[in-house]
Copies of this chain bind each other. A is one copy, B any other.
Amino acid sequence: MQGIEKYSVTLQNYLDEVITVKEPIQLYEPIKYIVSLGGKRLRPVLTLLSCDMFNSDYKNALPAALALELFHNFSLIHDDIMDEAPLRRGKETVHQKWDLNTGILSGDAMLILAYQLFEEYEHIMFRDLAKLFSKTALQVCEGQQYDVDFETRNDVTIPDYIKMIDYKTAVLLGASMKMGAIVANASEECKTNSYDFGRNLGIAFQLQDDYLDAFGNPKTFGKQIGGDIIANKKTFLYIKALQNSSEKDKVVLEKLFSEKPEDPTNKIKTVLEIYNASGATKETLKEISAYTQKANKVLNKLDISEKNREVLLNFGEKLMKRNV
């Protein structure tokens, strides 16, 4: 892990240097606040790692890496408003600590600041990075919209769901990998493969997130266990359970997902039982493993040293074995 830590430490130093609080304070303070809450720094680490793999100084990828972290945090600020979430990483969300307007405006500024970071690169690289960024950012918005739409839809299929998490989460991990390859001037094939690796890993990552939300260890997960069940979120687990349950359980599940009881303890308990009984839990774990394997298969096609392949393989495995 020494290698990986090196990236997050360098990113943190660069972030501290670049993201400063200036006038108007009310605009820039929330930006500094949200990026200082930490998090896994998954996206920028992937970018630096990828750049390093393709034999370029990973520090060259710092602006692109930070752009992705800023974008991710921008989307967190705006998503937290939409979800009316009071907490993020155990601390107050921006709209909660300040107000709605601050959340909207600081988020907007962050998105623009992300684009500005690409100006550190010469014009062809700038164009390649900004183009990939825009395409990805728009997909993330579309993914968020699908997620919102699913709340009121009762006909969400497994492919619908996979597309939603692909757009909302996975494409950004794909772009994180690919940006490292772009900065390293890697071949087109390497760019495509690194993108596919990140994207498949991203789907596995999000399915894992859904799984942990239901079955994670409350001591290590950080978020409330059963949060998706409380919010009636149609996750992979839910859709699979609906498909595979007995008629009786199906009725129970649908009824529970139309309610928001004050005390959700019994609701969570029953839903988890149905997830297990229907085989949905097993199928989710199988799906996580399938996407991880897909990612590893692309990994084998990457034109990198065996040592580096090992690093990426371990990185993916650690991510899948995480409990946070």
Contact = CB atoms under 8 A, between A and B. Distances in A.
Interface in A99-146: 100-101, 104-105, 107-109, 111-113, 115-116, 119, 123-124, 126-127, 130-131, 134-135, 137-138, 141-142, 144-146
Interface residues of A, number: 37
Contact of A146 (B24, B130, B145): B24
Contacts of A124: 123
A127 B131 contact: no
A244 B6 CA distance: 61
A288 B27 CA distance: 29
Interface in A133-178: 134-135, 137-138, 141-142, 144-146, 148-149
A113 B138 contact: yes
A26 interface: yes
A108 B105 contact: no
B145 A131 contact: no
Given A78-B105, A105-B78, A126-B123, A27 B112 contact: no
Interface in A78-115: 78, 81-82, 100-101, 104-105, 107-109, 111-113, 115
Nearest to A167: B24
A108 B145 contact: no
A261 B144 CA distance: 41
B81 A104 contact: yes
Nearest to A27: B145
Contacts of A82: 100-101, 104-105
Given A26-B145, A126-B130, 9 more contacts: A24-B146, A27-B142, A78-B104, A81-B100, A107-B108, A115-B130, A116-B134, A119-B131, A123-B123
